[in-house]
Structure 1
Amino acid sequence: MYWLASELHTHTDHSDGKQTLSELAEGAAKLGFECIALTDHNTLSGLDGRENVEREWGLTIIPGMEWTTFYGHMLTLGLQDFVDWRTAELSNIHKGISEVHRKAGLVGLAHPYRIGSPICTGCHWEYEIRNWNDIDYIEVWSGTFPSIKTDNLRAFSLWTDRLNEGYRIAATSGRDWHAQVATEEPVSVTYLGLRADKPQERNQISQDAVDALSHGRSVVTIGPLLTMEVESANSWFGIGDNVPAPSSDPDESIDGYWGHVKTVFSVRQGLWELPEQNFTLKIVGNTGTAAERSVGAADEVYRMNIPEGGLLWARAELWGTVHGVRALIAFTNAIYFNEGRGTE
């Protein structure tokens, strides 16, 4: 698995950004990003010259667009063609979502609980969602130092509630990056898990990145890379995978599951920092906190037991102190379990 450091919500001067695509890419490269999604408001025109900019700065640019309406902002990724946002209706956003999916794109809720009109037109999500299976991902962290912001805490809870209801939706972060302005606040990264080693062809990387997000192979962090695998009956499952229900044969029964959580503090060295401390590593799911331990700032794999019993999903979380505040530093997307779902 190759974890691609990505920024999935950006803007240029083709909408309300104050940067060209080349300036955006330069800034992203200096922050250690390998991939960005350009999500200008209601236009794809900012992608003009994309291939030249990719070559210039050595990163991949995923084509995208942010549907910007009175009732919410919806991110679309992976589309080569324009899908008309003007047809979106308050009670039928699913029509637009279906068209994006028909053209092999993904849809995500952008900053769903940000303050809305008249401060930010449509920033607060109001569209009626009749079927959450149509939503590919939720931007649960928006802006810089995202994990402490009230609107992001609500978005994170929204995602968790949907997981508890049995939906399989990915979570991402996005800076909503409009200008090359220096900040001392932590910057989040969404790592996308490519199935194989990183390909060399830019278009292939873009397609693989979209595929990774569609399968929930993503990790969000303001520091170290955090990944998880689950061991069950001598088989291994990664982020976004589905763990089969335990065998009903008593000779093949298991004593819970084993979560193998890896912390990698050596990623993007020199581009972020945390005070020296012991961190709290957790595995949480719909049944609550399944496992917890104190860990140091090391590249290490920790084996933690996850009890059986009604599991729908589990994710890893890393907690610590950032700028004097106890906060969530990193989290994985979910690994799913059939034992709490019945027969699928």
Structure 2
Amino acid sequence: MKWIPFELHTHTPHSDGKHTLLEMCREAKRLGIRGIALTDHNTMSGMSEARAVQEETDVVILPGMEWTTFYGHMLTIGAPYCDWRDLGPKDIHKGINRVHQAGGIVGIAHPYRMGSPICTGCHWEYEVKDWNDVDYMEVWHELTPSLKRHNSQALQQWTTLLDEGYRITATAGRDWHHSATHNEWPAVTYIELPEEWEDSAAESVVHAIAQGRCMPSMGPLLLMEAVMGESRYSVGDEIPINEDSEQTVTLQIRIVMSESFVPYGNELLVTRVVVESNNGVLLDQLWNEEQTQIAQQVELGSIRWLRAKAMGVMQEVYTTLVFTNPIYVRMMQSEAAEEEMYGCRTIE
């Protein structure tokens, strides 16, 4: 498995983008981005150019769309065109089911971006009756995303949903409309994929995002594993525990500076690593360039998810540079509890 940088929110002149698909993919290649999801507003006509552009640039192009409505914007990846025009504010699940049945996934785009009258429909207003239906959320949106106020609100909503027991993947999306040089820093979504992922790119990416094997980042990779005995768990995995088993894990955290995704030749400096959970902050430790790893024992107990973030300096600003999706913890029913609940015992 390896971590591949993707841009998951893009536009071309087939909707309101100012760069062609070829121009965008040339810039993506220059930045070190290996793949994009083409998510034009309410159309997939831009995919007619995808094969030729992919052959020329070697940037993988995934089919997608941004459903652009009065009640919110929803991203799709890996599905053919699915109609959205009959959806009202209370029946978004009907549209989500169409995408799922077609083999794709759905994500909420920039849920807290300013809405009417500045940008009608940009703020998410659909009624979500079951958050289990939502595959991912664009927690980081636009350039230098960790500095944008509406992203802080999205991060808080995502955290609240994790606390409530939902598994929703956090992603970054530039909402890429033109390829002019910027002073602001882009982020990517690193996706953990198998070695031969390009042979079935859309299917592999859809599966990895749905599993939570993603990492929004402005450059570095933040690699976190939980070790319990001979078992190792990484982001997107679920640690099963019960009252009769060992409930202590060793978190092993490494930071790897990307050699491919280095926007505009600028440098980042990581200075701190934080581990968060549904019980709050579990670790807050300084990091220096001489370090290779942090190892920290964690008592799981009532913990149901763990994620890490790296803080540091970017263009003379101290901010979050990268964060992981969670490693989840699931409490299994013990044999004693099952016997009490069902009035029986397990016969071996």
The alignment's TM-score, normalised by the length of structure 2, stands at 0.91
- Cα separation, 1, equivalents of 2:323 and 2:204: 21
Q: Given the alignment of the two structures, is residue 335 of structure 1 paired with residue 331 of structure 2, yes or no?
A: no
Q: Which amino acid aligns with 1:197?
A: E
Once the two structures are superposed, residues 100-143 of structure 1 have per-residue CA deviations (whole angstroms, 9 ceiling, x without a partner) of 11111100000000001221120000000010000000000000
The CA deviation string for residues 221-278 of structure 1, in whole angstroms up to 9 with x for no partner, is 1121112111123211111011011450xxx535x211111211143265353455x6
The 1:301/1:206 distance shift into structure 2, 3 A limit, reads farther
One-letter amino acid matched to 2:315: H
Post-superposition CA distance 1:193-229 (Å, at most 9, x none): 11x214443xx12221111101100011112111211
Taking only the aligned residue pairs, the percentage that are identical comes to 42
2 CA distance for matches of 1:313 and 1:178? 35
On the 8 A contact 1:37/1:61 being kept in 2, the answer is yes
1:323 to 284, 296, 315: 315
Query: What are the superposed Cα offsets for residues 283-335 of structure 1, whole Å, 9 maximum, x if unpaired?
Result: 11101111222112468332222222211100111012323332111001011
Give the corresponding residue for 1:253.
246
- Residue 188 of structure 2 is aligned to residue 189 of structure 1: yes
1:162-173 correspondence to structure 2 within 5 Å = 162-173=161-172
Number of residue pairs matched by the alignment: 335
Query: Which whole-Å CA distance do the structure 2 matches of 1:270 and 1:150 have between them?
Result: 25
How does the TM-score come out when normalised to structure 1?
0.92
Quote the Cα distance in structure 1 between the aligned partners of 2:324 and 2:137: 14
Greater alpha carbon shift after TM alignment, 318-327 vs 13-22: 318-327
- Partners of 2:282 and 2:331 in 1: how far apart? 15
Distance 1:299 1:20, change over 3 A: farther
1:106 maps to what in 2? 105
1:188-207 alignment, distance < 5 Å: 188-194=187-193, 196-201=194-199, 204-207=200-203
Aligned position for 2:139 = 140
Describe the shift of the 1:264–1:198 C-alpha distance in structure 2 as closer, same or farther (beyond 3 A): farther
1:1-344 aligned within 5 A: 1-79=1-79, 81-194=80-193, 196-201=194-199, 204-246=200-242, 248=244, 253-254=246-247, 256-268=248-260, 270-271=262-263, 272-274=265-267, 276=269, 279-297=271-289, 300-339=292-331
Judge which range, 123-132 or 278-287, deviates more.
278-287
Q: In the alignment, which residue of structure 1 is the partner of 2:341?
A: none
Letter in 1 for 2:42: N
Q: Which structure has the greater CA radius of gyration? A: 2
Q: Tell me, in whole angstroms, the C-alpha distance in 1 between the residues paired with 2:299 and 2:316.
A: 34
User: Counterpart of 1:41 in structure 2: which amino acid?
Assistant: H
Q: 1:333 to 1:339 in 2, by over 3 A?
A: same
Distance between the aligned counterparts of 2:220 and 2:68, measured in 1?
A: 32
Q: Distance in 1 between matches of 2:154 and 2:201?
A: 28
Which sits farther off after the overlay, 117-126 or 63-72?
117-126
- Of stretches 263-272 and 128-137 in structure 1, the one that deviates more from structure 2 is 263-272
Question: Displacement, 1:84?
Answer: 0.4
What is the CA–CA distance in structure 2 between the aligned matches of 1:300 and 1:179, rounded to whole Å?
38
169-178 or 324-333: which moved more? 324-333
| Shift in CA distance, 58/18, structure 1 to aligned 2, threshold 3 Å | same
Are the counterparts in 1 of residues 275 and 307 from structure 2 also a CA contact under 8 Å?
yes
Letter in 2 for 1:151: H
Partners in 1 of 2:260 and 2:124 — Cα distance?
A: 33
Query: Contact 2:5–2:261 at 8 Å: present in 1 too?
Result: no
Mark the runs of 5 or more structure 2 residues left unpaired by the alignment: 339-348
Q: Distance in 1 between matches of 2:246 and 2:179?
A: 55
Over aligned residue pairs, what C-alpha RMSD do you find?
2.0
